[in-house]
Amino acid sequence: MPPARPLTLITGASAGIGAAFARDLAARGHDLVLTARRTDRLEALAEELRTQHRCAVTVLTADLAEPRAVVTLCDELVARGLAVDWLINNAGYGVPGTFEAVDWPVHEAFFRVLMTAPTELAWRLLPGMRQRGYGRIINVASLAGHVPGSAGHTLYAASKAYLIKFSQSLALENRHLGVQVCALCPGFTWSEFHDVTGTRALMNQLPGFMWQTAEEVVREGYAAVERGEAVHVTGRVNRFIKALMKLLPDRLTLWLSARESKRYRALENLP
């Protein structure tokens, strides 16, 4: 049985899908631990949630690109006596440019935030969930993890494909112990993501039906993990795209990916 007030840790909680998860789960009776790099935004969101939902909200500022960030974060949870029931691994971003054009330290930081940190957080928090017989882990992946890689943002789709496979294995290993794991795979979502990567003008060329709000993504994610889905692609359009990519020959899907890369990636010298 879930606790009366589950405690949820959300990474990348200062904006977008992370902030939407915080608002949704606070309304459902969760207490929260919010973490991201921007303390001012976290504090503002925490005050909003405390006022509106009378929930306990703890702010722990962290940069998950730092090698010991997860250890420090988990040590702080232990020091405060906080046992996490829900883990939302949401922190993420994209790195524009071709692979060789980006300095290695930038790639290394990307790996830590999008792959190492969510994996380590699950490893450190999962034993407590298993011991208590209840837990939920949502790894925010992407439709990009189901379709061919594109030129530019070279590691993004690869990192999301990893989260999908990791979530599947984790779900199989833990579902009999009351811990359910889901890779949540949204497509284009209204958030700051494309502003940060400098592709907002390009993304605005996409038709409106391709987009979902962060709130829509979160509602689907909550329902999916509660149903025990190991992988959930949000939105009918995105599920159609995923199905279509499976049916088409690889050569054709790669050609389509190359064409879209030229249209929607902020790159100067794509072949």
Give the distance from CA 7 to its chain's centroid.
18
Of the listed 156, 162, 222, 264, which one is catalytic? 156
134 is catalytic: no
Instruction: Please state, in angstroms and rounded to a whole number, the distance separating the CA atoms of residues 249 and 254.
Output: 9
Angle at the Cα of 144 from the Cα atoms of 138 and 149, rounded to 5 degrees? 140
Instruction: Please state, in angstroms and rounded to a whole number, the distance separating the CA atoms of residues 102 and 96.
Output: 8
Q: How many Cα atoms are found within 13 Å in the side-chain-facing hemisphere of 167?
A: 32
3-class SS of residue 56: coil
- The answer for 25, left when phi > 0, alpha when psi is -120 to 50, beta otherwise, is alpha
Helix then strand then coil, in percent of the chain rounded to 5, is 55, 15, 30
Question: Under 8 Å CB-to-CB from 8, ≥6 apart: which residues?
Answer: 21, 25, 30, 31, 32, 33, 84, 85, 86, 87, 88
- The one-letter amino acid code at 137 reads I
- Catalytic machinery residues: 156
